[in-house]
A and B are shown apart, each in its own frame.
Chain A
Amino acid sequence: MRLDWLQLTDVRAYQSLEVRPDPEVNVLVGDNGAGKTTVLEAIGYLASMKSFRRAPDASLIRDGAETAVIRGEFSKGEIRVRVEVEIPRTGRRRVLVNGKRPSTMASVAGEIPLVTFLPDDLDLIKRGPAYRREYLDDLVVSLRPAVAVDLQGYERAVRQRNALLRRDGRYADTMTLDVLDQRIAELGAIVLGLRLDLLERLGPVLSGLYAVLGDGPEQVAWIYERSHGGPIVGVSPRPDLGADLAAALAAARQTDLDRRTTTVGPHRDEIVLTLANRDVRTRASQGEQRSVALGLRVAAYDLLRERGDVPVLVLDDVFSELDEGRSRRLVDRLPEGQVFVSSAREDEVPVRGRRWQVTAGSITGVGEES
């Protein structure tokens, strides 16, 4: 997949912008704050329906404007996909795919394969479990858009249960809780199964990548630590996920009524990554952590490509964070697809490609290959 055309209206500093990117490598150069990230963020938004900087939707709207509009046209051979998003200051966001309103938001995310590398990708390793869960779930949806509805359904069901607990506490209607538990166990088992399926594929890929991107041929492995029941390691025979979760929800009922929230389920699980049997989060060097984080992104790219779709690759100011060795090794592995790279310093970008100069609110192409 590649982006052929991008149009922004009232998105942050851009009152109006239209770009026809190069089908291969695009390098956006400009001072910090000039708006390079905004452009990349907009491209990412069209693929994932959210900001990769976790910025709230309203923050995308230009000061003084009412609605931000992002439009893009992607193609893959003969197939063309046009995605349009309108984000109003008040009211609901509007999304069109090829001019039609999609039946659910779930069917939009996953339409465009895209992988982003960010300067703070180290968060995937260093910060809380929510970061690793989000990484897995986003990748699950990119690989299998049809299951997005199950992931969103699970989240929604938990939010419904939490709303009931928060409002009524110990007086919450028992039968409503029972049916919500039943639904959460069914959907939760699907979510868990999808995460484990993905981890099983990811394990060997991560080890292979670490050998290339890292400093040695050390084994990367994972342990899925459930918030209930025991941890799940590798491809060991899987427990009955639905039955386990149903039992855990029942056992946690009293605690949940007291604490007014849902304390067990996939939304509370942790994914531990290990390097030669050491927990990467707590017992690895910064360099090792950096290599594993990079590996997670490259692995996402490789798995998407395996599916038959070359993803759009977005590298937002990542070279400033990498030492020369890792930059080199990453660039050597850069694929044949379309790439967007941003950097404050032109000489920092170790790749050839179309140069774009970004200044507040505008973009100009600077000749052909440099």
Chain B
Amino acid sequence: MFEAPVQKLIDELARLPGIGQKSAQRIAFHLLHVEETDARRLAEAVVEMRERVRLCARCFNVTDSEECSICRDLRRDPSAICVVERAQDVVVVERTHEFRGRYHVLGGAISPIEGVGPEQLRLRELIARIEPEGVTEVIVATNPTVEGDTTALYLARSLKPLGLTVTRLASGLPVGGDLDYADELTLGRALSGRREM
């Protein structure tokens, strides 16, 4: 155990994804030795992000205004929605430059092990967008995992009765991993070769 304020920071850091005890200690001691202004800037960046950034009222992507820049962009095709698990996946798909529609961030995938069922996802919000936005195709870009696949099947069953075309990314993605394990080229190909479910 270290002095209480140091230990408190280590504990907080160690709760972050991908950071173990050792890394947490390294970061904490690093912050102890840098200029105070540098440490303060980090703390302020965290606070500012939490205060200013919120979720897009339409697609639940991160934004600093009511709606995100993609939803506000009038050149985007309103008839196609790409459904992703998390907001960071929007950036991953955007990098491919293969998709010109809008997005919908589900907020996860169906995983009873983690206590996540369809009711915990933003599914109702997605269905509510279909008619007013004139959506005709939903592209499901959930992760190529059991949870992502299950969610995709669930979406297909919920959306097809509404007369929508529901497609899934073509194979070729590294199976079992996250979407962001795929390089841009592979993901781009998967997008353009998507198949109807």
A residues contacting B by CB (< 8 A) are 66-67, 88, 90-92, 103-104, 106, 149, 152-153, 156-157, 159-161, 163-164, 167, 173, 175-176, 178-180, 182-183
Are A167's CB and B115's CB within 8 A? yes
Are A106's CB and B176's CB within 8 A? yes
B residues contacting A by CB (< 8 A) are 20-22, 110-113, 115, 117-119, 145-147, 149-150, 153-154, 157-158, 174-177, 181
Q: Cβ of A103: which chain B residues have Cβ within 8 Å of it?
A: 174, 176-177, 181
Are B157's CB and A163's CB within 8 A? no
Interface majority SS (helix, strand, loop, mixed), chain B: helix
Are B157's CB and A153's CB within 8 A? no
Q: Cβ of B118: which chain A residues have Cβ within 8 Å of it?
A: 173, 175-176
Least CB distance from A168 to B in Å reads: 8
Closest 9 CB pairs of A and B: A164-B112, A179-B153, A163-B112, A104-B176, A156-B146, A163-B113, A103-B177, A103-B174, A149-B176
Q: Cβ of B20: which chain A residues have Cβ within 8 Å of it?
A: 88, 91-92
Q: CB < 8 Å: which of A106, A160, A164 contacts B146?
A: A160
Interface centre among B112, B118, B154 (most CB of A within 10 A): B112
Known: A104-B176, A159-B113, A161-B112. 11 other contacts (CB 8 A): A88-B20, A103-B181, A106-B176, A153-B145, A156-B146, A160-B147, A175-B154, A176-B118, A178-B157, A179-B154, A183-B149
Least CB distance from B172 to A in Å reads: 13
How far apart are the CA atoms of A138 and B118 in the complex, in Å?
A: 34
Interface centre among B115, B145, B150, B157 (most CB of A within 10 A): B150
How far apart are the CA atoms of A88 and B149 in the complex, in Å?
A: 31
A176 with B112: in contact, given A90-B21, A103-B176, A103-B177 (CB under 8 Å)? yes
Q: Cβ of A152: which chain B residues have Cβ within 8 Å of it?
A: 176
How far apart are the CA atoms of A157 and B112 in the complex, in Å?
A: 10
Q: Cβ of B112: which chain A residues have Cβ within 8 Å of it?
A: 160-161, 163-164, 167, 176
* Chain B residue at minimum C-beta to C-beta distance from A180: B150
How far apart are the CA atoms of A244 and B107 in the complex, in Å?
A: 35
How far apart are the CA atoms of A157 and B109 in the complex, in Å?
A: 13
How far apart are the CA atoms of A103 and B145 in the complex, in Å?
A: 12
A157 with B175: in contact, given A88-B20, A163-B112, A178-B157 (CB under 8 Å)? no
